Amino acid sequence: MLVLYGHNPEDIHTWDDLVDRAPTPDVYYRPGYVRAYALSGHGRPVALLIRAGETQALLPLLVREFAVNGEIVRDAVTPYGYGGLLPLAGTQPVAHETVHDMLFQLRDWARASGLVACTLRLHPLLNQDELWADVERSEDWIRIFPRGETTAIRLGSWDAARRAVAGISKGRLYDLKKARSCLQLRIAQGQELAEDLEFFQQLYAEAMKRVNADEFFFFSPAYYDHLAEELGERLVVITAMSHDRPVSSAIFLADREFAHYHLAASNDEGRRCGAATLVVNTGAEWARQRGCSLLHLGGGLTADDSLWAFKHSFGGTPFFYSYMSIVGNHEQYEYLTSQSGVPWPYVDVHPPAGGAAEPGGRRSIRPSVHAGKKKVVGIGAGGHAKVIIDILSYSPDIEVVGLVELATRLFGETVAGSLILGDDQLLPELLAKGVGLAFIGIGGVSNNVPRAKSFELALSLGFDMINAIHPQAVLAKSARLGRGVCMMAGAVVNPAAEIGDNVILNTHCTVEHDCKIGDHVHIAPGATLSGAVQVGRLSHIGTGASVRQGIRIGESAIVGVGSVVVDDVPDNAVVVGSPARALKMASYK
């Protein structure tokens, strides 16, 4: 094993050259990135060059020292971001025995260096979860912690007509159009960064203070200065401006194959204008022009929260993120996991229910960045609203502040303990008061248009649509959900299924593998869709209906209760019976 030191100019050059020669180099492995994070007080930068047979791998780390109950503890961690072992040369894929040999070397280095542990944030785009899949079961000094999904935009496809990411959702396209009509863009890198970094720091600091974020989420001015100096043209700041005022800004990092949505922030005006959508779309275009294949957006603060829904709505590919701890000193490691006030990853070993995640999809051991509960308003006050309120009650960090409803006779009444506040004219006022999430509490026996209109209204005002997933629902890891999806008790969505925005998956319905469900669809209780069924937007699949594999059901169609569908259903058709036959054509307003 060779150790390269981040303060030694010759080692820095060797380190950077090794990353250049990797099959898939990434900015998070660069000495410039690790040094920037270290220079703002986060540890001493090193990189380990590990060899096992013909295989070589590079591991960038920060060696830290911190005090616990008056004693100094030393460990090593991957810097903020993603990392793990970067394969440099040798047989691909790496054999299990080779991986095990490398981890043995890492454990021995940790012990010889007096480190309690060495913790790696595994890079989701390099499929490192698969590489380490079997090692944890074989050794008690290896601890692996799965932390959920991230998403990345594939840049090979581009919607030239819309000047947008291919696969972007309709809600994001709406925001993009709105933002382009009222905002201006600044794209800065290299020598032009100074003013734009100030804009970003201002917005980011305000955003973190607004949500009472832990100090872990704040970065010193030195961090930004070092990042710009060390990374050069690999860093860009994209800022949306309104009348010469910054309203949204993001830092993007890029290397040869991958770009990353590193840090971002918007103010209230930016959220109302859809500015973040414009910034991300512009970042994707910048990364694409550089020749990158993926723009990694990361994940959410918690599973299926509004941040994840926003990133997921760009139509990206899901990836999976974990971190791994190599324990050098068992006794000290177990002691740290029992103490309060210790840094990541030791608090995260026994996480509380509802644990938060770091910005960009990196799970945090810190308290949630939300000072209190996430506030949600329901639009509609019928029976469907009761069900969603019940589902959300299982999440201790969510508070339903009330409902809005067009029927004035219901004002002041309650639904499942939630007060009907008034009509939808209250929504802008609620948004201004910090109620940033919404759900559609309107059901749909056959006509899903009212639900769709309410959904588009909420998006246009700037609300994020929350997903309501019952604890007894079953959602496959590779399935994809849009925004505002409701999965009731017993609902099943199997692998590679794609669910659009504002879809109701009612009690004990089944959506089999590879199905594609359009926006604003209602799959009623007990309905079964076999594999690879396609359902167009605004359609309704009745209670207990069955649909044969591979069938296409058009837009705004209705499948009657208990029907058995064995042939394709055209747009706007109403079909009933077994086998289902066309009864009439539906007409919606």
The residues near 431 (Cβ < 8 Å, ≥ 6 apart) are 272, 461, 462, 463
pLDDT tens digits for range 254-297: 999 999 999 999 998 998 889 999 999 999 999 999 999 999 99
The owner of tokens 């799965």 is 146
At residue 587, the pLDDT reads 63
Q: Predicted confidence band at 370 (pLDDT cuts at 50, 70, 90)?
A: very low
Structural domain spans, the chain: 2-147+319-363, 152-318, 374-465, 468-585
Q: Which residues are catalytic?
A: 513
Query: 42: closest CA among 167, 250, 238, 216?
Result: 216
Query: 125: closest CA among 250, 227, 29, 236?
Result: 29
User: Which class for 156: exposed (0-12), middle (13-18), buried (19 or more C-beta within 10 A)?
Assistant: exposed
- Residue 385's alpha-carbon distances to 14, 380, 420, in angstroms, are 60, 7, 11
CATH of domain 468-585: 2.160.10.10
Q: How far is Cα 27 from Cα 257, in angstroms, rounded to an integer?
A: 10
Q: Predicted confidence band at 204 (pLDDT cuts at 50, 70, 90)?
A: very high
Q: How far is Cα 330 from Cα 458, in angstroms, rounded to an integer?
A: 52
pLDDT tens digits for range 34-90: 999 887 778 999 999 999 888 899 999 999 999 988 889 999 999 988 888 898 875
At residue 366, the pLDDT reads 28
User: Which class for 304: exposed (0-12), middle (13-18), buried (19 or more C-beta within 10 A)?
Assistant: buried
- From 2.40.170.20, 3.40.50.720, 3.10.620.30, 3.40.50.20, which CATH number describes the 374-465 domain? 3.40.50.20
Burial profile 372-398: b = 16 or more Cβ within 10 angstroms, e = fewer: eebbbbbbbbeebbbbbbebbeebebb
Q: What is the third-level CATH fold of 2-147+319-363?
A: Aminopeptidase (3.40.630)
SS3 assignment, position 543:
coil
pLDDT tens digits for range 31-48: 999 999 887 778 999 999
Answer whether 406's CB lies under 8 Å from 427's CB.
Answer: no
Extract the tokens encoding 217.
Answer: 């989420």
Q: Predicted confidence band at 308 (pLDDT cuts at 50, 70, 90)?
A: confident
Query: 519: closest CA among 533, 546, 505, 539?
Result: 539
Q: How far is Cα 70 from Cα 168, in angstroms, rounded to an integer?
A: 52
pLDDT tens digits for range 136-162: 555 788 888 888 889 999 999 899 999
Global model pTM greater than 0.75: no
In this structure, how many other beta carbons lie within 10 angstroms of the beta carbon of residue 534? 18
Q: Predicted confidence band at 207 (pLDDT cuts at 50, 70, 90)?
A: confident
At residue 346, the pLDDT reads 86
Q: How far is Cα 328 from Cα 142, in angstroms, rounded to an integer?
A: 10
Q: Which CATH superfamily is domain 152-318 in?
A: Gcn5-related N-acetyltransferase (GNAT) (3.40.630.30)
Answer whether 528's CB lies under 8 Å from 509's CB.
Answer: yes
Same fold, 2-147+319-363 and 374-465: no
SS (H, E, C) 119-154: EEEECHHHCHHHHCCCCHHHCCCEEEEEEEEEEEEE
Extract the tokens encoding 129.
Answer: 């979860």
